[in-house]
């Protein structure tokens, strides 16, 4: 279900991931078991594709353990 992430443009992968992350809570709390399973598998597919394309993605130092300690 859905287009193979490898066939999507970079912009489409990011857009799809943002949409999935925005709808995660509603799907988790209110979706059927099938909807949750599909949401989870699609998220994994797109996240894997994003990481394949951007292995050196920018990491916010505040999101690291050291950054959290400084807060």
What global pTM score does this model have? 0.84
Written as tens digits, the pLDDT of the chain (71 aa) is 789 999 999 999 999 999 999 999 999 999 999 999 999 999 999 999 999 999 999 988 888 877 666 66
Burial 19-54 (b: 16+ CB within 10 A, else e): ebeeeeeebeeebeeeeeeebeebbebbeebbeeee
Predicted confidence at residue 65, as pLDDT, reads 77
**Which class for 9: exposed (0-12), middle (13-18), buried (19 or more C-beta within 10 A)?**
exposed
């Amino acid at each position: 279900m859905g287009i193979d992430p490898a066939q999507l443009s970079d912009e489409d992968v990011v857009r799809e991931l943002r949409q999935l992350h925005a709808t995660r809570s509603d799907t988790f709390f209110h979706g059927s078991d099938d909807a949750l399973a599909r949401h989870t598998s699609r998220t994994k597919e797109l996240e894997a594709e994003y990481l394949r394309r951007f292995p050196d993605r920018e990491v916010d130092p505040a999101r690291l353990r050291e950054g959290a300690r400084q807060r």
